[in-house]
Amino acid sequence: GARRGRGKMAAGGAADAQARFGHSVKGLLTEKVTSCGTDVIALTKQVLKGSRSAELLGQAARNMVMQEDAILHSEDSLRKMAIITTHLQYQ
């Protein structure tokens, strides 16, 4: 009878250990999933930030082109005005 009692205790102890192991594995998995989720969120934020930077750079480039056109136009107008001034001085 004593042997059977020990067997039941050993089986109970093994089941206990198994339950603890399962609980520990669940905890680790939850931790890993949470960590992965956090990493994905950080990566997404970084990608969005990068695309926003590219958008801002494109906008800055377009603005520079517009400014360059305005400067060239002004330069052309100044050149024409200088020619007119020279002609007026001769008259």
Residue 13's pLDDT band (boundaries 50, 70, 90)?
A: confident
State pLDDT tens for residues 49-90: 888 888 888 899 999 999 999 999 999 999 999 999 999 998
CA separation (Å) from 1 to 4, 7, 59, 81? 5, 10, 86, 119
Every domain of the chain and the residues it spans: 1-49, 51-90
- Higher-pLDDT residue of 91 and 11 is 91
Largest CA distance in the chain: 134
pTM over 0.95: no
pLDDT at 8: 54
As a whole number, the mean pLDDT across the chain is: 83
> In the predicted model, what is the mean pLDDT of residues 13-26?
78
